[in-house]
Amino acid sequence: MDGLARIGKIYLNRNSFLTPCIAHPSIFENLWRVGDDSENPLKVLIPQNFRSSSPALIKTEKNSDLLYTIPSLNFEGDVVNLLNLVKNLICEKKLFDAQDLAFPVPCNLEPSKISYLLKEAVKLGLRYFILQRVSSLLKNPRKMIDIIVGVIKNICTPDSVLHLSSFIPPYFMRFLSYLGVDIFDDSVAYIAASQKNYLTFSKVLDFKGLKELPCPCTHCENFDLNADFKHSREEIFEFLLAHNLSVYKSEIRSIREDIRGEVFRESVEAITHASPSIKGALRILDRDSNYSSQVEEAIPVRRKSVFLCSSSDSLYRPMVKRWRKRIIERCKPPKHVKIVVILPCSARKPYSFSKSHKFFLRSIKGGARKKIKMVHEIILTSPLGVVPRELELTYPASKYEIPVTGHWDWEEKKTVTEVMGNYLSNFGEDVHFLAHVDGVYAEIVREASDYLSRDVEFTCLNGESPKAEGSLKRLKSAVYEALKDRNNAVSNPNLFHIGRGRMIADFQFGSGVGNILLPPSMRIKVEGNYPRVQRFFINNAQVATLVPEDGLLALTFLGGEKLVEKGFYFVEFDGNKIEGGTLYCVAVSEADKQIRPQDEVFIVNKDRRILAVGKAVLSGKQMVMAKKGPAVRIRRKNKQDET
């Protein structure tokens, strides 16, 4: 999953197929064959027009191989009449189950009418939707997002299938997948071939003007462009059609592979260059708060892949915005902190293992000595803004890559300044701010200091870089000077590790959870060497584990109880005993709305007793809405509770 895109297997009647996929039109049968690589494709009948066909055209015979399609609408005036027809078919005459029917959604109607139509259709149990006339939205990015995300994705349950039937060029597929469309029609391959258009993944080329065929597919390899004049019109059509269809096929496979490889968002950012409409639509989706929060809900909290931030859109991608939001809202600095040291980021991650940060750490430790626990380090970086040292292992801080050239654009600077200003405003007047940065970083710190009306001491002077000997010496003495008159009230030698555990808990589960899991009043033991696995114990009972791969915590049932008591990160199961390794949506009666895909969650029964721990597949809201599909992959079951 990424954005609203999802990869999945759809089981319908006797057929199953992977999505996203192609629905191939079969003009002789008047139906689509859905599932590009499936041996047993689902057949979906094309819709009749509600006005020009008599409603009796819907066959009354049931055929398990076919999905029947409700007649399609052209104008608002027919919405109620059409719904009555559907109600009649499903509820009164009982000729069809809702799941045997596909429902066309005319995307060119008024949003309020589409919304009404869909809400009623969802109520009737319809789950297969054919999106029509989406091409009328493609030139208008705002309309495209308003209708597809604001109306359709918002109303349809997560287990609904979205089949887009409009003519769309191949380069819109990836972006529309990102918006949650599952099935694409490849009719345009035919239209393009008849128009002598040669399709590529990002363009429509005029075949007549080509000097070379850019694609090395077998159709292109076997076509002699120089002997073009020898080919008949039909031969050229057949060739172009075969190539164009292969572009659709290849693109849909690549989409699936990028979703699986968890690099889908990066690939969507790349395709935005194919059309200003896509670029505009992504901007609206990322930056308009209504939509960005809707998309954020569906974005996982961790990925296996490296987090590439190569375009200006990266600054607004949901995972990045979530980071900045959680840093400000969830992560409160420890009370005993007396100095904040602001450091530049490094190319190597985690930062503390880079050469530059090793120098910084040596100077800071040298200056602070035993009072090191009173020092809080934060790293300034784009696009995340601020990374507290405690979260340097947490995804995506541990795995992001940006082009480092020293060029910052205005928006980057502004965003990072705001995050830092907000983060620093949490610290009391008695906390001293030290900035060990130069260049653009120093400009940002100065602006944030103006914004906060707080003084910041700079340790890189005279144009010296942070790594320069003079700067490092000044850092050391500045730390020493700032701490020399402070009393060291902190004695626990593990405090830095415990502090890290608490901050990760706050970041992962919510403000204050760190102190609930690892209460300051208790004796806490930490085992394991950073950055390897670290275990946290209270009175010799393990509460949590820091998983180094993504810098997040895995909790024991003991830790889970503390979370669930607060109503955090629970998924309520409709029973007492879970079979198998997966909890399905159908059995979920309630779930914490804060849950995001890949979050650590606890499955509880009606009495809120923990039955199992696992990773969420869907967001908390989605798993309650959906009736089909997996909700939680279980890691461990609570054996004590099995009776």
Partner 1 sequence: MSVKNFETRSLKDPDFSNEIKAIRSYHLSKIKKKEVLSVKYWIEQDRLLKGIGKALTIILPTKGCSWALSKSGGCSMCGYINDAVKYGAKSVCDSEKLVYEFEKTLKNNLDKEFEALKIFTSGSFFDESELSKEAQKKIFETISTYKNVSEVVVESRPEYVTSEKIEETVNILNGKTLEVGIGLETSNDIVRSRCINKGFSFQDFSKVVHEIIDGEARVKAYILIKPPFLSEKEAINDAIKSAIDASKVGAKSISFNPCNVQSGTLVEKLWKNKSYRPPWLWSIIEVLKKSFNKIKSDVDRIICDPVAGGKSRGSHNCGKCDKKVLQAIRKTSLNQDPEMLGAVCDCYEVWKTFLEYEAFSQDPDPSFILSL
Binding site for partner 1 (CB under 8 A): 25, 27, 30, 32, 46-47, 49-54, 72, 74-78, 80-81, 104, 106, 108-109, 132-133, 135-136, 138-139, 165-169, 172, 185, 187-188, 190-197, 204, 233, 237, 275, 277
The closest of 167, 84, 155 to 70, measured between CA atoms, is: 84
The closest of 474, 492, 402 to 438, measured between CA atoms, is: 474
How near is the Cβ of 55 to partner 1 at its closest, in Å?
Answer: 10
Contacts of 238 (CB under 8 A, 6+ apart): none
Chain length of the chain: 643
Euclidean distance between CA atoms 200 and 116, whole angstroms: 38
Contacts of 538 (CB under 8 A, 6+ apart): 518, 519, 522, 523, 524, 525, 558
Q: Using the minimum distance from each CB to partner 1, give the nearer residue, 102 or 301.
A: 102
Euclidean distance between CA atoms 575 and 396, whole angstroms: 36
| 243 half-sphere exposure, CB direction, 13 A CA radius | 29
Euclidean distance between CA atoms 269 and 282, whole angstroms: 8
DSSP state of 352: G
Q: Using the minimum distance from each CB to partner 1, give the nearer residue, 74 or 246.
A: 74
- For residue 112, the one-letter residue type is S
How near is the Cβ of 90 to partner 1 at its closest, in Å?
Answer: 22
Q: Using the minimum distance from each CB to partner 1, give the nearer residue, 69 or 534.
A: 69
Q: Using the minimum distance from each CB to partner 1, give the nearer residue, 169 or 514.
A: 169
Compute CA distances 279 → 7, 137, 362, 487, whole Å: 23, 14, 45, 55
Euclidean distance between CA atoms 610 and 560, whole angstroms: 8
The closest of 610, 642, 640, 643 to 632, measured between CA atoms, is: 610
How near is the Cβ of 66 to partner 1 at its closest, in Å?
Answer: 16
- For residue 147, the one-letter residue type is I
Q: Using the minimum distance from each CB to partner 1, give the nearer residue, 141 or 510.
A: 141
How near is the Cβ of 279 to partner 1 at its closest, in Å?
Answer: 12
How near is the Cβ of 219 to partner 1 at its closest, in Å?
Answer: 18
How near is the Cβ of 190 to partner 1 at its closest, in Å?
Answer: 5
How near is the Cβ of 226 to partner 1 at its closest, in Å?
Answer: 22
How near is the Cβ of 249 to partner 1 at its closest, in Å?
Answer: 17
The closest of 563, 374, 388 to 479, measured between CA atoms, is: 374
Q: Using the minimum distance from each CB to partner 1, give the nearer residue, 137 or 518.
A: 137
Question: What is the enclosing helix (H) or strand (E) of 456?
Answer: strand 456-458
Q: Using the minimum distance from each CB to partner 1, give the nearer residue, 276 or 470.
A: 276
Compute CA distances 267 → 37, 174, 175, 274, 556, whole Å: 22, 8, 9, 12, 37
Q: Using the minimum distance from each CB to partner 1, give the nearer residue, 193 or 479.
A: 193
Query: Which residues lie across from 198 on neighbouring strands?
Result: 205
Q: Using the minimum distance from each CB to partner 1, give the nearer residue, 274 or 571.
A: 274
How near is the Cβ of 8 to partner 1 at its closest, in Å?
Answer: 23
Q: Using the minimum distance from each CB to partner 1, give the nearer residue, 57 or 541.
A: 57
Q: Using the minimum distance from each CB to partner 1, give the nearer residue, 166 or 471.
A: 166
How near is the Cβ of 185 to partner 1 at its closest, in Å?
Answer: 6
- For residue 233, the one-letter residue type is R
How near is the Cβ of 239 to partner 1 at its closest, in Å?
Answer: 14
Question: What is the enclosing helix (H) or strand (E) of 49?
Answer: none
Tokens 């462009």, residue located: 225
